[in-house]
Amino acid sequence: MKNSVVGFLCNPFKTGAYCARVIISYQAIAELWDFLSHKAKEKRKRFRVEKPELDREYFEFMRTSGAPEFLDKSLDDILNFLVSLNDICPKEIRKWSDYGNVVIYPEYFAYSAEKEEGFFFFAPQIYFKDIQDAMSIRIDYKAFPDVIAEIASLSPKALSMFKSFVTAMPCTKSKVIYLDEGKRHSKRFVFDLYPAVAALWIDEFAPKNISRDLIDYLNGAIDYIDKREWQMSIILSAFSVETLLSDIYEEILKEEAPSAPIGFLAKEINEAKKFPPEAMKPLQAANKIRKAAVHRGTISFTQKEAILGLMNATQFVLWYSFAGKGFCNVETK
């Protein structure tokens, strides 16, 4: 699996992503609420979930606040209650609930004082250690009041698991629609997935090859993508490149590296020893986007620029992990 993770990070467009579209109608959510409300009365259990309303303000808040995205708050609460009914909860839904408790970003706690047992969490980017896969969820807010999402994953495993979860919702006449769209290579799919795959590599594989300060910078860049703070993400990605360039500078020129940005360090090193194209390409792209972030002016950054910054930094770090030590003539055992 490590090879597929690294292959995607190095060339996401060539590798592609496995994609699907999920449609959960408002009617299906309301019918599931009615079913569980009836079951709660039968079992004499308190059902605290409000019947879902057509509340556009909630969707607008989640879109603009920077909070992690949910498929729908009403759906979260309904599924939590379903998990508490052990005898009727499908195993596929219980399994996804377990993932929801494990795969959760710290930023969520800024918006919720405590995490309930069985909490369902639908982050824009998540990864799964046990199957070493990653997944992204893009919500179409314009589809309100229905929940429509584009799903992408590194391999068919996570996609299959998600399909089992959403299609296991019981007792609705308006069934969940799951459309498998196969493998896609377009930017909008692979860009959405990139932070999740990068996080999987950083947590599972990177510590064996790169230093902790580089890992911390890349982790920080991903965290700021989660927070929707695009400029800070770009700057932290650039820090990882600058830190690694300082190491390379000192190995090749045998002197202390100056406190200088990417462009200066890369130029000095390149004059002493030419970078190969696979290193120079992400370096130049990283320098370009770093300049835009530092000298912001009137530029408005988006998720696209933040992910590009992360992509350039990750690809340069990966080049160093596999070939850079030889480039620097660093002795390895």
pLDDT in tens, 106-128: 333 334 444 444 456 566 788 88
Q: How far is CA 2 from CA 133, 195, 206, 280, in A?
A: 10, 16, 10, 24
Note whether 274 and 155 are same-domain residues.
no
Residues of the chain with pLDDT under 70: 1-2, 52-74, 99-123, 171-172, 295-299, 324-325, 330-333
Give the domain extent around 141: 2-189
- From 120, 155, 189, give the residue that closes a domain: 189
pLDDT in tens, 244-274: 999 999 999 899 988 888 888 989 998 999 9
Q: Name the pTM for this structure.
A: 0.84
Q: Take residue 160 and report the two structure tokens written for it.
A: 């299959």
- From 189, 217, 232, give the residue that closes a domain: 189
Note whether 151 and 254 are same-domain residues.
no
Note whether 185 and 227 are same-domain residues.
no
Q: What percent of the chain has pLDDT over 70?
A: 81
Q: How far apart are CA 146 and CA 208, in angstroms?
A: 44
DSSP tag of 209: T
- From 142, 157, 189, give the residue that closes a domain: 189
CATH number reported for the structural domain that contains residue 319 in this entry? 1.20.120.330
Note whether 40 and 180 are same-domain residues.
yes
